[in-house]
């Protein structure tokens, strides 16, 4: 999905050409790509497609990716972590959610632009953009009985 070339993948991962070919054929069967021998691929999905809520990829994301992602100290040169909390009206919450969508769209444009660069000049990166109604469990535990958040 990140526009890696055949040689980039074979060089970076412990896959031989047959492993790679089997993966390409499986993705072709799933209609994620169109495989064109010997090493050409046409994507049939958006670069950052959305998975089904509560589907297998969503569950994998929540159980494996999120915990591993947030174990980091976020102290590398390109890292950033910012947590904000507050109370918003439904109208301003909708405005904030729209801002997240615009930010995700901007990331997509940047990723598409840099896809033209050789892999050696690009770094894998990801961002988690989220907002939800939430209260830290220790605060919830301290609430008076009968008082909603």
With contact defined as beta carbons under 8 Å apart, do 21 and 27 qualify? no
Percent of the chain with pLDDT over 70: 98
Q: What is the DSSP letter of 120?
A: G
For residue 79, give every residue at least 6 positions away whose Cβ sits within 8 Å of its Cβ, in sequence order, or none: 72, 73
Cα distance between residue 21 and residue 31, in whole Å: 15
Mean pLDDT of 75-95: 93
Q: What does pTM read for this prediction?
A: 0.73
Cα 64 from Cα 130, distance rounded (Å): 17
Distance CA 2, CA 134 (A): 33
62-90 average pLDDT score: 91
């Amino acid at each position: 999905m990140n526009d890696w070339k055949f040689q980039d993948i074979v060089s970076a991962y412990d896959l031989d050409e047959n492993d790679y070919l089997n993966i390409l054929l499986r993705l072709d069967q799933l209609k994620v790509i169109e495989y064109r021998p010997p090493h050409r691929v046409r994507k049939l999905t958006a670069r950052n497609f959305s998975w089904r809520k509560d589907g297998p990829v969503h569950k994998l994301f929540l159980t494996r990716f999120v915990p591993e992602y947030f174990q980091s100290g976020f102290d590398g040169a390109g890292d950033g972590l910012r947590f904000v909390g507050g109370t918003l009206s439904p109208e301003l919450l909708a405005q904030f959610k729209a801002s997240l969508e615009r930010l995700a769209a901007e990331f997509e444009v940047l990723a598409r632009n840099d896809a033209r660069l050789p892999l050696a000049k690009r770094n894998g990166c990801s961002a988690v953009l989220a907002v939800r109604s939430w209260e830290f469990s220790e605060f919830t535990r301290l609430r008076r009985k009968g008082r909603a958040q």
